[in-house]
Amino acid sequence: MDFVHLHNHSDYSILDGAITVSKLVDKAAKFGMPAVAITDHGNMFGAIEFYQKARKAGIKPIIGEEFYVAPGSRFKKESVRGEKEDNAHHLIVLAKNITGYNNLMKLSSIGYLEGFYYKPRIDMEVLEKHSEGLIVSSACIAGEIPRNILRGKLNEARELAGRYKELFGAENFYLELQYHGIKEQEIANSELIKISSELNIPLIATNDSHYVDRDDAYSHEVLLSIQTGKTMNDENRMRFSSDQFYLKSFDEMRKIFADYPDALFNTCKIADMIDLELDLGNPILPNFEVPEGFNLDTYLRHLVDVGASRIYGSNIPKAVSDRINYELNVITNMKFSGYFLIVWDFIKYARTVNIPVGPGRGSAAGSIVSYCLGITALDPLRYNLLFERFLNPDRNEMPDMDLDFCADRREEVIDYVKQKYGEDHVSQIITINKMKAKAVVKDVARALDIPFAEANAISKLIEGDSLKKSIEMSPELKKVSDTEIGKKLIDISLRLEGLTRSAGKHAAGVVISKGPLTDYVPLYKDKDGSISSQYEKNTLEQAGLVKMDFLGLRNLSIIDKCIKLIKETTGDVVDIENIPLDDKETYRLLQKADTKGVFQLESSGMQNILRRLGPTEFEDIIAIVALYRPGPLGSGMVDDFIERKKKPELVKYSHPTLEPVLKDTLGVVVYQEQVMLISQIIAGFTLPEADKLRKAMGKKLMDIIDNLETKFLQGAEKKKIDKKIAVELYDMIKKFGEYGFNKSHSAAYALVTYQTAYLKAHYRLQYMAALISAAPDKQEDVIQYINDAKENGLRVLPPSINGSFYDFSIEDNSLRFGFGAIKGLGVKAIENIIETRKKLGTFKTLKQFLENVELSVVNKGVLESLIKSGSFDAIHQNRAQLFESIDLIIDFAKKYQQDIASGQGDLFGMDTSKDNSRIASELPPVPEWKDNTKLNFEKEIIGIYLSGHPLAKFEKEISSFPSYTLAELCEDNCVNDVSIVGIISNVVVKRSQKSGKQYAVGLFEDLNGSIEILIFGKVLDKFNVLINCGEPVMVTGKIEMEGERPQKILANNLKSLKEVRREAASAIHIKLDSLGVDDEVIVKIKEVIEKHKGNCPLFFHVKDHSETKTIRAHSTFNIFPSEIFIEDISKLVGHDSVRYSFTRYD
């Protein structure tokens, strides 16, 4: 073989390369090539994956990058010839050895951190500085040497070639020949060959491969259209000039470059020169300085001993000391003492500055060393948590700790780590997003100009992550793929599925290195300026770097704020880490499923399980958290667990020795740790061996599971366990092991669950204030939480310029709406209002408010939002008058502030002793808004109806209708032909690209929440007036669920309440008290009846002392059911004394 591919673009050349790393390696192996290179555009994202897969396939990996080289300085961010293509020239750079690899990482990092301008760019300065160990070639016709040739600048091309030769050395610089049937390549090649001869610079032949096979060319064009946002119908779209950019065989390349065999042979010569061995898998821990007299191991032992004494007292139990000694022995032997000290240090910092820290996350809660260090907050011995689940001495893997911090202050902890280890030693971690099954179909459809509605419908037929499997499983999808357009869509989507779609920043991942990061990993900077590694989490781990997840847990912020509010409002000091875990009020709250806003327990499905189970101890909460997942729910494990809780006599154990392991879960295998302990007790597995079984079951590795079954049965036999029982046990743990959950994680999160439930049970007011404050931008949550507060007797006060703060607060034993949840109020405006109020005490008049706030931040938009939300009601109750006069008010206010600045005048030409009523008299008279207008403005500005609800006056009536509430839909999981009464708002009419017909999208809301409503075709035409009337309507249609929550209703019928009453009302009932009704009232009732005659029977329910008599009025007094009748009669007898009954509903 006299050729290897040295210029190839994997899919990490994002939306440009269409070759996965696996396919690149497989193709090279198929061709029998001894080596192959990866040279992605401007990055090294796939370098380690490529290195490992190539080595595994027996192929020498050549790691490179196609760099973008700035024409001048990398710091100069402007076009040279007015075209962005001229901002950077291509250059192929390969790592010859480990020095070259290190320089490649540095250059790649510099491109993003210093030279980015459209593309990550380097320049000659840094190439000279980091030239050692590199092999370089002139690249494609977008390289600077070929570009100069094509522009007739032959001398410049020759000079640059000579400069590169001198810089990298005669054996390390090559001129690159490519030919894809493109005329410009012919011209460039002709001159490159001349320069090669003149300057004695060797040639190489490459194919600039972007896709695997020739028949992938069209799908690659589609990929480019996805990248550029164009359609394939666009003549001006970006495209390659031929279909030759694929991985060609040696024979194909030999035919193309038959006249230049040396150019082919030199690729092999380069491959032979490559001598790169990466040291992967060996941990590289940052340096941690310990006090004098200690090393890493002895200092860790010292800290653990101090922590153990603090927790257990001076007389430490033997079981504790044995576990500590065992764990420390494993940690020190694996050389991970430094890791634990690093984590201990920043956790200690967080606690020192009062940043709330979670009790644990993942398997780290199974370590008593972590517990003694204060990293976790659960005693692993108390809850039977296993260290081997966290750190297995049989596997040389870095510990993996994920840490939860208060969401508001997580960045402070990361800043501390940067400060301690150096900014250049710490960064966040990249995420690589792939084109998944549903998304790729939508992307390809967009490029093929297939209407969105049609593409969306096809994507909804896809189940799971594999498009191929979905086609095999779904007859409807297979039918689509049999049509001409469907076949094209599916075929291209299958070719592009799994390719890289984009790069982003991991939400929580942080990497910490021993030296500057660029010594170990190339860096990337996103469009927001955030720096992260170019390697993903798993790749970093393989490279030996310390990675951790610094997660922001909103519930820790809620707990922290709640505790502060409790102290402010009651004086109570709650030590949340030491609350009793057997509190009766907390378990009563859980048994009632009063868990809106309780961590992990607020879904309707979880509430249903709580009601059925009736938890009575902390172990129940741990189990619920572990069981509430699709696998256990679908397998019947949850039902089994609940039944055994109710009927203890059903709890049985296959062998008496298993009772300590399974007692807390009533004989059901719930946790992965239980699988491990069963294999230890029954079969004599060591815990590291048991962890191997646990891991195999979780990943369904049948070869390992089958091999370990033999060992399990042999071990059971040695322990004289009946073979039948042993087989049954192994079958049981096989069945439940795949659903088993990590108990360490479940226990740690159950503690947060319990803490939030405890606070809600004992300090509901403070907890709801903290909870709602944490979700101002989540309208659905705010509505739910406010409804929950009201249902439980809490009063919610409207926003007020005199009472509100940024967050929800507590006032007069009530919740006060926060400014932060009002649309249109920026942080600066809120701060200015609150600061001004703090100086003045309270705003007594509108005049005083306008005189003192900064009108540059409290501007017209802010004032409109304050008026609409009712924030001025305390000092000026006519919202309409203020709103209509807002320009006048602002003009007066600005003039006043200008006059004051110049030492003259006061607002509205009045002296400061005049009161608010005078201001009102200066404003034009405007009648106050009607209730519905007020409520609609509230909804617009604060997201909810607060001072009332358009449906409130119909609530009693609606409860008699044959309709659901949104809350009931969650509980019953109804989807077809459902009727709901509510208000439609925010209607937008759109046109279907497929059919050209109009459809409407809006928001449908009842007293319990809101969902999206879709109204199509004839329904839209027929009910257009009802859709836009803003009045309550009954909608009948199909519900689309997402999980347990209704997401959309597809309307097929609408009715006004007037229609519902007319069609369905069977009678009207009026309650009267004989002691409170005189002749005058009777006469007025008769008058109202006369005005509203119809066909609906009328019943009077007359209370006379202790007896109530029902009297049916004569048919001449039958009523026409209407809202006006209800209003008129309610004025006489009270709203609660009038109700409908409905034939089909009672």
Write the secondary structure of 930-953 as one string of H (helix), E (strand) and C (coil).
Answer: CHHHHHHHHHHHHCCCCCCCCCHH
| Percent of the chain scoring above 70 in pLDDT | 95
The domain that holds 960 is classified in CATH as: 2.40.50.140
- Cβ pair 585, 761 in contact under 8 A: yes
| pLDDT average, residue stretch 456-481 | 85
First to last CA, the chain: 87
| pLDDT average, residue stretch 376-390 | 94
Structure tokens that stand for 314 in this block: 């001076």
Same domain, 879 and 985: no
pLDDT at res. 913: 41
Same domain, 202 and 58: yes
Residue 990 lies in a domain: yes
Q: What is the pLDDT of residues 36-64, one digit of tens each?
A: 999 999 999 999 999 999 999 999 999 99
Of the ranges 66-70, 397-401, 884-888, the best mean pLDDT one:
66-70
Residue with the bigger pLDDT between 755 and 82: it is 755
Q: What is the pLDDT of residues 879-896, one digit of tens each?
A: 999 999 999 888 888 888
Q: What is the pLDDT of residues 499-558, one digit of tens each?
A: 999 999 998 999 999 999 999 999 999 988 889 999 999 999 999 999 999 999 999 999
For 39, list phi and psi in degrees, rounded to 5: -140, 70
Q: DSSP string covering 634-669, please?
A: HHTHHHHHHHHHH-GGG---SSGGGHHHHGGGTT--
Q: At what angle do helices 484-496 and 437-447 cross, to 10 degrees?
A: 120
Q: Residue 250 CB: number of other CB atoms within 10 A? A: 16
| Domain span holding position 1026 | 952-1060
Lowest mean pLDDT among 30-44, 81-95, 675-689, 700-714: 81-95
| pLDDT average, residue stretch 584-609 | 94
Rg (CA), the chain: 36
At which of 515, 536, 555 does a domain end?
A: 555
Same domain, 964 and 1050: yes
Residue 742 lies in a domain: no
Same domain, 919 and 831: yes
Lowest mean pLDDT among 753-762, 878-887, 896-905: 896-905
Residue with the bigger pLDDT between 1113 and 781: it is 1113
At which of 942, 965, 995 does a domain end?
A: 942
d(CA 61, CA 36): 6
Residue with the bigger pLDDT between 1076 and 1017: it is 1017
What residues does 547 pair with on adjacent strands?
511
Residue 93 lies in a domain: yes
Same domain, 893 and 1033: no
Answering whether pTM is above 0.75, one says yes
Same domain, 1056 and 1072: no
| pLDDT average, residue stretch 575-582 | 96
Q: Is the pLDDT of residue 379 over 90?
A: yes
**pLDDT-derived band of residue 251, with 50, 70 and 90 as boundaries?**
very high
Q: Is the pLDDT of residue 1145 over 50?
A: no
pLDDT at res. 160: 97
At which of 420, 451, 471 does a domain end?
A: 420
The helix or strand, by DSSP H or E, that contains position 369, with its residue range, turns out to be helix 368-373
Q: Residue 928 CB: number of other CB atoms within 10 A? A: 12
Q: At what angle do helices 723-737 and 702-718 cross, to 10 degrees?
A: 150
For 993, list phi and psi in degrees, rounded to 5: -70, -30
Residue 629 lies in a domain: no
The domain that holds 199 is classified in CATH as: 3.20.20.140
Q: Is the pLDDT of residue 78 over 80?
A: no
b/e code 1038-1065 from CB counts within 10 Å (16+ = b)? ebeeeeeebebbebeebbbbeebbbebb
Q: Is the pLDDT of residue 599 over 90?
A: yes
pLDDT at res. 248: 97
Q: What is the pLDDT of residues 428-453, one digit of tens each?
A: 999 999 999 999 999 999 999 988 88
Same domain, 813 and 832: yes
Q: What is the pLDDT of residues 727-749, one digit of tens each?
A: 989 988 887 766 788 999 999 99
pLDDT at res. 477: 86
Residue 231 lies in a domain: no
d(CA 753, CA 459): 37
**pLDDT-derived band of residue 899, with 50, 70 and 90 as boundaries?**
confident
**pLDDT-derived band of residue 971, with 50, 70 and 90 as boundaries?**
low
Residue 123 lies in a domain: yes
Residue 753 lies in a domain: no
pLDDT at res. 952: 84
Q: Is the pLDDT of residue 173 over 60?
A: yes
Number of domains, the chain: 6
Q: Residues, the chain, total?
A: 1146
The helix or strand, by DSSP H or E, that contains position 558, with its residue range, turns out to be helix 554-570
Same domain, 966 and 862: no
Q: Is the pLDDT of residue 1094 over 50?
A: yes
Q: DSSP string covering 849-901, please?
A: HHHHS-TTTS-HHHHHHHHHHTTTTTT---HHHHHHTHHHHHHHHHHHHHHHH
Same domain, 31 and 179: yes
pLDDT at res. 915: 44
- Cβ pair 65, 136 in contact under 8 A: no
Q: What is the pLDDT of residues 1012-1038, one digit of tens each?
A: 899 988 888 888 888 887 788 999 998
**pLDDT-derived band of residue 681, with 50, 70 and 90 as boundaries?**
very high
- Cβ pair 186, 179 in contact under 8 A: yes
What is the rounded average pLDDT for all residues in the chain? 90
pLDDT at res. 409: 93
Same domain, 172 and 302: no
- Greatest CA separation for the chain: 122
d(CA 230, CA 537): 33
SS3 content of the chain, % helix, strand, coil (to 5): 50, 15, 35
CA angle 152, 155, 159 (to 5 degrees): 135
| Percent of the chain scoring above 90 in pLDDT | 66
Same domain, 891 and 1012: no
d(CA 834, CA 123): 52
Burial class of residue 833, CB neighbours in 10 A (0-12, 13-18, 19+): buried
pLDDT at res. 973: 58
Same domain, 465 and 551: yes
